[in-house]
Structure 1
Amino acid sequence: MPEPTRPAFAPADTITCDRDIAHAHFAPGDQVVVIKGVADGELWGDAMTVVTPSWHTPTDEDGWRLRNPIGGAQSFITGHPRYLVHLSKRCPDCLIYLRALEDYLLPKVLGDKPVDLGWYRVTDLGQLVHADDTKAAGR
């Protein structure tokens, strides 16, 4: 996929930060994706592997250490469970979340070019942070 663009105005994510998903929903070895945008009328994101429990400092809650198989400067990051969607199995909770994101986003982001909605950033400590979580935490 080509490098995604960032629109001047991206729809706010009103779904992810309200997602109620237990830490135990994921386990080491699970293949997951963090949805970051839209490409060719479909959701896209970064696929990773769950490695081990890890405290998610920005939300002050249990998180997961994730491994990006592509490697690079951020081979390992820590993310909150509500950011993650199973790739390795089809579970109802993840499917419901994906459907809600599709229903919300796809009509708003048109075109065939990949679009990164800018909802996430990685802190200097390797913590994946959602834009709404940084506002809530005052960061």
Structure 2
Amino acid sequence: MPDPVSRPPYVPADTITPERDITHEHFRPGDQVTVVKGAAGGELWGETMTVVTPSWHTATDEDGWRLRNPRGGTRTFITAHPRYMIHTSRLCRDCLSHQRALEDRILPKIPAAGGPVDCGWYTLTELAQLVHTNDTARGGR
């Protein structure tokens, strides 16, 4: 059962992730990644998953990755765009830089007290495609 997650009255926009310039080749099958969804206790919070195989991300009409979420239940496998993912299995400059930018811009806007806060940046389509709200605004499905 997932941890209880709340939504803040003010949801800070994540304008950094949709503008992230990262190639599909940056990730490989077997990599552990996190998709940041908000904050918990003054730190970034998200879902940790394993990269499985390339998969077309229909929401952006670009190459994506099929991810396995061990806590996924009926949605154990989803497809995500590479810009949504941050390596957790190894340190790499791009992912660390992206994570720090999110921390600097987002964390000061989210209350540090309490449990996990889901900022609602992502939706999941009927095809199990993870879509960032800014990609939806640009015409993602």
Q: TM-score, normalised by structure 1?
A: 0.96
Can you give the 5+ residue segments of structure 2 that lack an aligned partner in the other structure? none
Alignment of 1:1-139 (within 5 A): 2-113=3-114, 114-137=116-139, 139=141
Aligned partners of 1:138, 1:54: CA distance in 2, in Å? Answer: 16
Aligned partners of 1:102, 1:21: CA distance in 2, in Å? Answer: 19
Aligned partners of 2:41, 2:93: CA distance in 1, in Å? Answer: 25
What is the RMSD of the two structures over their aligned residues, measured on CA atoms? Answer: 1.2
In the TM superposition, residue 116 of structure 1 has moved relative to its aligned partner by 0.4
> What amino acid does structure 1 have at the position aligned with 2:11?
A
Say which SS state the counterpart of residue 106 (structure 1) adopts: helix
Kept after mapping to 1: 8 A contact 2:131/2:140:
no
Q: TM-score, normalised by structure 2?
A: 0.95
**Deviation >6 Å, runs of 4+:** none
Give percent identity, aligned residues only.
Answer: 63
In the TM superposition, residue 138 of structure 1 has moved relative to its aligned partner by 5.6
Alpha-carbon deviations, 1:10-42, whole Å to 9, x = none? 011110000000000000000000000100000
How many residue pairs match? The answer is 139
